């Protein structure tokens, strides 16, 4: 069975643990790494070539919005292949969602995220991008 390689970019240890557990529960996904800040996420994406990134918006140093803008720029120049980036944030306002989309994220999920909510969003991307492990 092909599984979508998934990277978690999240600075909060409890959120990392919860997201990692959910990724492990979804047979379509394969966890390839967890990074706690934007620069580490960028490096991991270059090395691990995930097919999906779960990106926290508020990380220390380089936040998820700037990290995503940089990733999309690399993809636009052909240095990285395209893959979905799903924003994870506690900010629930329409402007927050729009900021995520404007930065290049494909989806915007508000914390606390539920497994069924994540599964529903992933269903769309799993059918659109059959990347393999």
Instruction: Reduce the DSSP state of residue 57 to 3 states and report it.
Output: coil
In the chain, domain spans: 4-127
Please report the pLDDT score of residue 131 as a whole number. 45
Which residue has 């529960």 as its token pair? 25
Mean pLDDT of 6-20: 96
| Six token digits for residue 124 | 């769309």
Of the CA atoms within 13 Å of residue 2, those in its CB half-sphere come to 8
Q: What is the distance between the alpha carbons of residues 19 and 105, in angstroms, rounded to a whole number?
A: 18
Which residue has 């059918």 as its token pair? 127
Q: What is the distance between the alpha carbons of residues 3 and 24, in angstroms, rounded to a whole number?
A: 11
Mean pLDDT, the chain, integer: 91
Res. 19: pLDDT tops 80: yes
CA dihedral 70, 76, 81, 82 (to 10 degrees): 80
Task: Name, of 33-37, 57-61, 114-118, the range with top average pLDDT.
Answer: 33-37
Q: What is the distance between the alpha carbons of residues 13 and 80, in angstroms, rounded to a whole number?
A: 28
Please report the pLDDT score of residue 1 as a whole number. 57
Mean pLDDT of 111-120: 87
Please report the pLDDT score of residue 67 as a whole number. 98
The confidence band for 118, taking pLDDT boundaries of 50, 70 and 90, is confident
What pTM was computed for the model? 0.91
Using one digit for the tens of pLDDT, what is the confidence trace for 52-109? Answer: 999 999 999 899 999 999 999 999 999 999 999 999 998 878 899 999 999 999 999 9
Res. 133: pLDDT tops 90: no
Q: What percent of the chain has pLDDT over 70?
A: 95
Q: CATH number of the domain at 4-127, out of 2.40.30.20, 3.30.70.260, 3.10.20.30, 3.40.50.2300?
A: 3.40.50.2300
Q: What is the distance between the alpha carbons of residues 33 and 41, in angstroms, rounded to a whole number?
A: 9
Q: In 10 A of CB 36, how many CB atoms?
A: 17
Q: Which helix (H) or strand (E) holds 16?
A: helix 13-25
């Amino acid at each position: 069975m092909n599984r979508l390689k998934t990277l978690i970019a999240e600075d909060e240890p409890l959120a990392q643990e919860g997201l990692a557990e959910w990724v492990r529960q979804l047979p379509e996904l394969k966890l390839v790494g967890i990074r706690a800040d934007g620069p580490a996420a960028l490096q991991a994406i270059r090395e691990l070539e995930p097919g999906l990134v779960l990106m926290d918006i508020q990380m220390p140093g380089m936040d998820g919005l700037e990290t995503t803008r940089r990733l999309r720029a690399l993809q636009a120049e052909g240095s990285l292949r395209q893959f979905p980036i799903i924003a994870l944030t506690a900010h629930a306002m329409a402007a927050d969602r729009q900021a995520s989309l404007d930065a290049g994220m494909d989806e915007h999920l508000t914390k606390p995220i539920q497994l069924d909510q994540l599964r529903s969003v992933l269903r769309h991307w799993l059918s659109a991008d059959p990347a393999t492990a």
